[in-house]
């Protein structure tokens, strides 16, 4: 048996090794964590203001090198992606046997620090998960009265949108993947802020979405270009700072070409986003990539590219249809049939109508034609415009392919008095209208006040 070396000798050997070894970056995929080499731009400038508490994506980060244990700038979210095992650990792995005559146990060389005493054995690796859950919600449309409520909730110091989302946070954060729709561009911090028709909203709404538990947001809508290219850049930078993935608009041709793919419990899930138009605002010359215009061919082409990049599941967020109409328009029905005819897209999540529209199965795949307004204020008599649905989908892997095996929903209501708040299936509210509409295509979608997963 080789003689035991001294700690000094071990440290010397590890120090020598650290000069020649480069430790590769390994990360344990977390909820909604990004896939390396997929779309994941980020800004290194933090959003002004303190980091706010929230559930976040513990252990996730945008791909790229980083310091072990670092956090996303301004997000208040711890990050382990980009975390490397550390040079001392790498040195221990290589030179430990020379210094110590063999490592005494599987935890001999931890990620940080030198060799450690033997600990309990690592648990056996389990089989890859065979299911994951997705929640999706309706339009986030920050009207002036919504921004004013956020100012009051912040006590006049900035804007705080979190209280408006607080009641749905438990429903959102427990899903494996949570998808939101940010319909409006954000303004610079401090404003000026504007509402309809050319929105420019407080950027703090993005932090609130992250703290509520969302993982990715679609950004293609008829309001994407309300503030031009500068508005697109500000919005995506705010999403990056909050640690939220995004799809639907881009700051460069390269960013537009790279699919947004997330690791969801071991499944690679792509998120796409397209819109029917931009309220007559043209895309900048030579920059059609800045926001995705909806056609069946465009969606299918993006889905194929995502699968070529490694996606196993493709979810498409589509901004489409006719405002304030519960019945899907002929163009929605036609597009759903064309997009879901093959194996490229697994699920469609619809927006724009500002009222709830039905769920249906088309060619065996689910489409939620419209989820209504998650957060908006379209007047005291808004009625159906203040009703929405939180959709729940369970994906299972069967016969080598992922499919939605369960669709559910929770009715939501925006109440504007005494404060603007989102309420899940509130007692005393006749949410039978939402239930009737969602089931109107003949699918008996279960209604549940709390997710069944």
Residue 115 maps to a domain: no
The per-residue pLDDT for range 3-26, each reduced to its tens digit, is 444 444 444 444 344 333 333 333
Handedness of CA 200, 202, 207, 208 (dihedral sign): negative
Confidence of residue 428 (pLDDT cuts 50, 70, 90): low
Confidence of residue 73 (pLDDT cuts 50, 70, 90): very low
Whole-prediction pTM value?
A: 0.75
Q: What is the DSSP letter of 416?
A: -
Q: Are 307 and 267 in contact (CB under 8 A)?
A: no
SS3 178: strand
Q: Is residue 201 part of a domain?
A: yes
Provide the number of structural domains found in the chain.
1
Would you state the pLDDT for residue 430? 67
- Sequence-ordered list of residues with C-beta below 8 angstroms from that of 189, at least 6 positions apart, any chain: 47, 48, 49, 203
Is residue 82, in this structure, part of any structural domain at all? no
How buried is 440 (Cβ within 10 angstroms: 0-12 exposed, 13-18 middle, 19+ buried)?
Answer: middle
Determine whether 284 is exposed, middle or buried from the number of CB atoms within 10 Å of its CB (0-12, 13-18, 19+): middle
Work out the pLDDT band at 30, boundaries 50, 70, 90: very low
Residue 310 maps to a domain: yes
Nearest to 219 by CA among 39, 34, 355, 36: 39
Domain containing 196 equals 131-439
Please measure the distance between the N-terminal and C-terminal CA atoms of the chain and give it in whole angstroms.
54
Each residue's pLDDT tens digit, 233-249: 999 999 999 999 999 99
Confidence at 33, pLDDT banded by 50, 70, 90 = low
Beta-strand (E) ranges in 79-236? 131-140, 177-182, 216-218
Helices and strands (DSSP H and E) totals, the chain = 11, 15
Share of the chain above pLDDT 90, in %: 66
Cα 118 vs. chain centroid, distance in angstroms? 39
Question: How many Å apart are CA 5 and CA 24, to the nearest integer?
Answer: 28
Is position 61 within any domain? no
Domain harbouring 161, CATH code: 3.60.21.10
Distance CA 202, CA 66 (A): 29
Other beta carbons within 10 Å of 232: 24
Which is it for strands 267-275 and 260-264: parallel, antiparallel or unpaired?
Answer: antiparallel
Give a yes or no: residue 340 inside a domain.
yes
Please, where are the H alpha helices in 20-166?
Answer: 87-100, 144-153, 162-165
> Does some domain include residue 184?
yes
Q: List, for residues 256-309, the tens digit of each pLDDT value.
A: 999 999 999 999 999 999 999 999 999 999 999 999 999 999 999 999 999 999
* Highest mean pLDDT out of 82-91, 337-346, 373-382: 337-346
For residue 103, being part of any structural domain is answered with no
């Amino acid at each position: 048996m080789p003689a035991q070396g001294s700690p000094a000798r071990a440290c010397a050997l590890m120090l020598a090794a650290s000069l020649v070894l480069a430790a590769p970056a390994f990360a344990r995929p977390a909820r909604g964590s990004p896939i390396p080499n997929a779309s994941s731009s980020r800004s290194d400038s933090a959003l002004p203001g303190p980091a706010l508490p929230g559930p976040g994506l513990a252990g996730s980060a945008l791909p790229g090198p980083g310091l072990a244990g670092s956090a996303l700038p301004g997000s208040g979210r711890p990050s382990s992606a980009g975390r490397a095992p550390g040079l001392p650990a790498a040195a221990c792995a290589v030179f430990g046997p020379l210094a110590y005559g063999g490592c005494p146990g599987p935890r001999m060389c931890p990620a940080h620090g030198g060799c450690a005493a033997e600990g309990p054995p690592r648990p056996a690796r389990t089989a890859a998960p065979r299911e994951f859950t997705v929640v999706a919600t309706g339009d986030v449309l920050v009207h002036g009265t919504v921004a004013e409520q956020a100012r009051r909730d912040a006590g006049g110091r900035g804007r705080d949108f979190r209280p408006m989302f607080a009641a749905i946070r438990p429903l959102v954060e427990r899903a494996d993947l949570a998808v939101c729709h940010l319909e409006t561009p954000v303004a610079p911090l401090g404003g000026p802020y504007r509402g309809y028709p050319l929105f420019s909203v407080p950027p703090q709404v993005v932090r609130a979405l992250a703290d509520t538990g969302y993982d990715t947001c679609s950004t293609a809508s008829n309001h994407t270009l309300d503030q031009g290219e500068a508005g697109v850049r500000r919005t995506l930078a705010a999403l990056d700072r909050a640690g939220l993935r995004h799809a639907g608009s881009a700051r460069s041709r390269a960013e537009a070409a790279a699919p947004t793919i997330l690791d969801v419990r071991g499944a690679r899930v792509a998120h796409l986003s397209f819109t029917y138009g931009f309220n007559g605002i043209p895309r900048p010359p030579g920059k059609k990539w800045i926001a995705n215009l909806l056609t069946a061919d465009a969606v299918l082409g993006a889905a194929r590219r995502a699968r070529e990049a490694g996606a196993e599941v493709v979810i498409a967020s589509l901004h489409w249809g006719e405002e304030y109409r519960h019945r899907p328009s002929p163009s929605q029905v036609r597009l759903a049939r064309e997009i879901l005819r093959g194996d490229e897209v697994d699920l469609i999540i619809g927006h724009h109508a500002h009222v709830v529209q039905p769920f249906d199965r088309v060619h065996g795949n689910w489409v939620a034609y419209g989820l209504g307004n998650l957060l908006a204020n379209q007047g005291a008599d808004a009625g159906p415009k203040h009703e929405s649905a939180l959709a729940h989908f369970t994906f299972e892997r069967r016969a080598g392919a992922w499919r939605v095996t369960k669709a559910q929903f929770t009715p939501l209501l925006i109440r504007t008095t005494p404060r603007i708040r989102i309420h899940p299936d509130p007692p005393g509210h006749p949410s039978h209208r939402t239930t009737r509409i969602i089931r109107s295509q003949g699918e008996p979608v279960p209604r549940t006040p709390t997710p069944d997963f």
